[in-house]
Amino acid sequence: HEMSHGFDNVGRLFGPNFEMSSWWDNITIRNYKKRADCIGRYYHTYTSAGRHVHSNQTLEEDIADRGGLHLAYLAMQSALAGERH
């Protein structure tokens, strides 16, 4: 989860030396925004105490959660297959 923050909607704005810079090309940015919008729409369907999650306020965490879950799933698949790294 925490490592995924380097690629969330804020972390992606920082370069390799922690300076704010736009280091992605326009095609990458456009594709990223499409995927981030998809995650935002998905999390907006969640409710808590009868209210929708405001995914525009939680997008950083939503992206990091998605990244963490994906890596955990890949690790589980690897472990079940008996792979060693």
Catalytic: 83?
Answer: no
∠29-30-33 over CA atoms, to 5°? 85
Amino acid at 44: H
CA-to-CA distance for 10 and 61, rounded, in angstroms?
10
**Could you tell me if residue 24 is left (phi over 0), alpha (psi between -120 and 50 degrees) or otherwise beta?**
beta
- Residue 59, helix vs strand vs coil: helix
**Whether pLDDT at 24 is above 70:** yes
Q: Is residue 85 very low, low, confident or very high in pLDDT (cuts 50, 70, 90)? A: low
Q: Which residue has the tokens 């950083």?
A: 60
Catalytic: 2?
Answer: yes
Beta strands 47-48 and 51-52, pairing class: antiparallel
Q: Is residue 53 very low, low, confident or very high in pLDDT (cuts 50, 70, 90)? A: confident
User: Which residue out of 2, 19, 25, 83 is catalytically annotated?
Assistant: 2
User: Which residue out of 19, 25, 62, 65 is catalytically annotated?
Assistant: 65
